[in-house]
Structure 1
């Protein structure tokens, strides 16, 4: 058969690879703080006009998440009004501005290298701008991929977005490690810097390079996304059927492209635009998928990995963080290559069980020097189980379970809840983890990971009872699936 009859896989892969760059930036932006936060903390501890407390530092580390909530919240509006492509271009510009602004927050308005409260506000504004880009990319990149991908490989292609997220985190772990070089991170106890002279370069400059390094992939993404097509499903929604057909035929072949166009037109013309047209259950499931993906606590590990490994007594926590990043990459590939064979539900349930095992293992052994290897392995099991399940599969399901006519708004709602709970987990981890009782100095350690383990068990039960299997179904099939469940 000719390429014209079967479609061009090379064309499909090329546009998907550009789209997953948004996932890479998602991972890069959210994980860059892990290497930079100690130098940043030490820099602002030198301020003379205010006291940079633990509360300020916690807010600063999590400030990008405020932008993530905003970006995901407006993603449905922008995706519907601007289209998927232009919304992603805007996200790329937000990433680029944030990278440069976070590197030099003094730009135009403040004296370079002088920490002040106003400079801290400016820094956090730039981080929020980057968060808007992350929020948009987190909602629209999987949506874009799902809307251009053939149904038989849709799960695999959307899973590559999660691979890109984890790869972005691994890249930034490595970039932070290279930037740090032979320099050292500051040692901070009771809000005092114990090695200010030895860590002087990291405090003044190192954290800036870490944030600024994101400008390279951000600029590349903003440029390349200009050359990909708009999604056929959005083009049908704005009455550009001819252009939609050309793209569908280029991806799927002439005959199948025409059939897919007719299926899309049949669902789009139903005019079912109210968010609860298909009942409350589909919205509830989408929201709870997002809630559980964050409530299991994975981002507490990803954001604070070097600090956690340091508390465990590891001699080089940055190296341990890179090792964890490699493990995460390998187990994300498990999901990529099995999601269409095993299905969505089995992966989610298996991953939940593995995460529960890892979380309970950390809860029982953290703080015991004789059990440090078990603790390390438990963290790896916990993280790897997430990467083969909730990491990629949650995004696959959110991108595909909603009917065409409510997808933009429904994805925005679900992803906004994801970022709200991401912020809750990130903001509560350090206070919970550091809780101490006179009778039990490790109370915060076992309580925190014990809680995450219980949530993992609840997540498995939720998937088993409520989440439908969507393997092999077209996006247009979702309308009938949810009509039957109303």
Structure 2
């Protein structure tokens, strides 16, 4: 199959990895109650059923650096597509709890690989002036995948009674992922490898030709020289020896803070939260979850069109601040037993703020802050940390929110939301103090942020001792 070089085409195809990322992680939200009833799960088992895919995500993220270096960015995504397909089939047919868990872990490995490689691929082919918006399309695809599966889950729930949903309907939810997985696998054969990976492997003639084909109206020689120069360090022994420990720490912190501010509590458990704090029935709670997805998608689009205009730092700080306010308000209302219709309002405010900031912009920053010579290894470590934090949050929330638990009894369900709110406040400080602005610079120009010490402008944000 002939491959293309149009950057928009490449972005849309590779972003399907993001769509499957969102689809696979959110499909569980409509099936949580059915799984609990079908397999007769305790709160801890339910938490593990919901978060088991995250074990695979952690493994996939750990493997993604090696796989994308060894087999290429496109090769890694092809492997991810096959894992998505296997998981979709396997998760739909199990008769036993642990069989279901195993197939969810397999899908999680695919998510872990795609979550790292898709934004990295886009960043490596995108022109500097448009890189933020194009990488943010991957986050759009993630949210779009979530929204699609919310509609799919809602439609399946309407096909029968609650008893039918508990016995059979949930299987259709997981099986539906086969369609986008097959589409993603086929379309990947229409995209090439990235010029930077080809250069990394010494295939300079191919890399130069592809870079020229992707930028037909530009003089690519200055950029080509920057790419070659940036790879001189590729044979140095490691990230720390190459002098990039500081940027690795920043990447890890960005990844962890995106998760410990509580986003996946809403993305995975929204129907259960809405039912728990109100008199909503299953179908109404799923319908409200669709509204959550629609807000998420809308504000992600806003981020796409503003991240290259206003920059990464302003969006991140404003968004994290609004997320903190929303979480603290929800936690306080729960503690005072004053939950009402405005729970959905604060939930939507939180989702909107996340979609404008920590959702897409974290991935933009992660895809661009690491130097060429260590990008796949450093990004793999950062994304590994992200999925591990995701697992901890997703596993711990059902236990903290169980009505018989000590924490719930003491704080009336408010404690986890207060905790996430405090993390949001810390995120604002961290972005202000440590994260530099990266908009408008080539990937190679960004390396100078970590190579020079200065007390002025964006360099002031660097951690002490960063070389």
Q: With structure 2 as the length reference, what TM-score do the two structures score?
A: 0.92
Match of 2:16?
Answer: 21
CA–CA distance in structure 2, aligned partners of residues 360 and 420 of structure 1: 24
Does 1:352 find its partner at 2:320? Answer: yes
Distance 1:203 1:374, change over 3 A: closer
Q: Please point out which of 228, 244, 249 is paired with 1:279.
A: 244
Match of 1:121?
Answer: 98
Pairwise CA distance, 1:54: 2.4
Runs of 4+ in 1 over 4 A off after TM superposition: 367-371, 435-442
CA–CA distance in structure 2, aligned partners of residues 242 and 279 of structure 1: 29
When the two chains are superposed, the root-mean-square deviation of aligned CA atoms in Å is 1.8
Match of 1:110?
Answer: none
Match of 2:70?
Answer: 81
Pairwise CA distance, 1:347: 0.5
Match of 2:145?
Answer: 168
Q: Please point out which of 249, 257, 280 is paired with 1:292.
A: 257
SS of the residue corresponding to residue 183 of structure 1 reads: coil
Moved more, 211-220 or 268-277: 268-277
Structure 1: gaps spanning 5 or more residues: 1-8, 46-51, 106-114, 186-198
Does 1:94 find its partner at 2:58? Answer: no
CA–CA distance in structure 2, aligned partners of residues 81 and 16 of structure 1: 22
Q: Please point out which of 47, 57, 65 is paired with 2:54.
A: 65
Q: Is the 8 A contact 1:278 1:479 kept in 2?
A: no
Match of 1:147?
Answer: 124
CA–CA distance in structure 1, aligned partners of residues 8 and 250 of structure 2: 30
Does 1:301 find its partner at 2:266? Answer: yes
Q: Is the 8 A contact 2:321 2:425 kept in 1?
A: yes
Q: Is the 8 A contact 1:24 1:164 kept in 2?
A: yes
Match of 1:317?
Answer: 285
Does 1:12 find its partner at 2:7? Answer: yes
Pairwise CA distance, 1:242: 1.8
Pairwise CA distance, 1:57: 1.9
Deviations 1:130-180 (A, max 9, x none): 000000000000000000000100000000100110111000000001111
Match of 2:353?
Answer: 385
Does 1:245 find its partner at 2:190? Answer: no
Does 1:408 find its partner at 2:376? Answer: yes
Does 1:232 find its partner at 2:180? Answer: no
CA–CA distance in structure 2, aligned partners of residues 319 and 54 of structure 1: 24
Match of 1:192?
Answer: none
Q: Is the 8 A contact 1:34 1:305 kept in 2?
A: yes
Distance 1:359 1:120, change over 3 A: same
Distance 1:183 1:369, change over 3 A: farther
Match of 1:364?
Answer: 332
SS of the residue corresponding to residue 390 of structure 1 reads: coil
Pairwise CA distance, 1:42: 1.4
Distance 1:312 1:250, change over 3 A: same
Pairwise CA distance, 1:435: 5.5
Pairwise CA distance, 1:311: 1.1
SS of the residue corresponding to residue 383 of structure 2 reads: helix
Pairwise CA distance, 1:444: 4.5
Q: Is the 8 A contact 1:434 1:444 kept in 2?
A: no
CA–CA distance in structure 1, aligned partners of residues 377 and 181 of structure 2: 26
Match of 2:219?
Answer: 256
Deviations 1:380-406 (A, max 9, x none): 111111110000000000000000000
Match of 1:53?
Answer: 42
CA–CA distance in structure 1, aligned partners of residues 235 and 443 of structure 2: 15
Q: Is the 8 A contact 1:432 1:444 kept in 2?
A: no
CA–CA distance in structure 2, aligned partners of residues 444 and 467 of structure 1: 36
Moved more, 397-406 or 56-65: 56-65
SS of the residue corresponding to residue 366 of structure 1 reads: helix
Moved more, 291-300 or 259-268: 259-268
Match of 1:472?
Answer: 440
Deviations 1:417-441 (A, max 9, x none): 0000000000111111236689984
Pairwise CA distance, 1:271: 3.3
Match of 2:401?
Answer: 433
Structure 2: gaps spanning 5 or more residues: 453-465
Q: Is the 8 A contact 2:47 2:396 kept in 1?
A: no
Q: Is the 8 A contact 2:90 2:100 kept in 1?
A: yes
Pairwise CA distance, 1:369: 7.3
Match of 1:37?
Answer: 32
Number of aligned residue pairs: give it. 446
SS of the residue corresponding to residue 414 of structure 2 reads: helix
CA–CA distance in structure 1, aligned partners of residues 407 and 266 of structure 2: 26
Pairwise CA distance, 1:206: 0.5
Q: Is the 8 A contact 1:366 1:375 kept in 2?
A: no
Q: Is the 8 A contact 1:436 1:444 kept in 2?
A: no
Distance 1:330 1:27, change over 3 A: same
CA–CA distance in structure 2, aligned partners of residues 21 and 253 of structure 1: 26
Pairwise CA distance, 1:182: 4.4
Pairwise CA distance, 1:270: 3.3
Pairwise CA distance, 1:349: 0.2
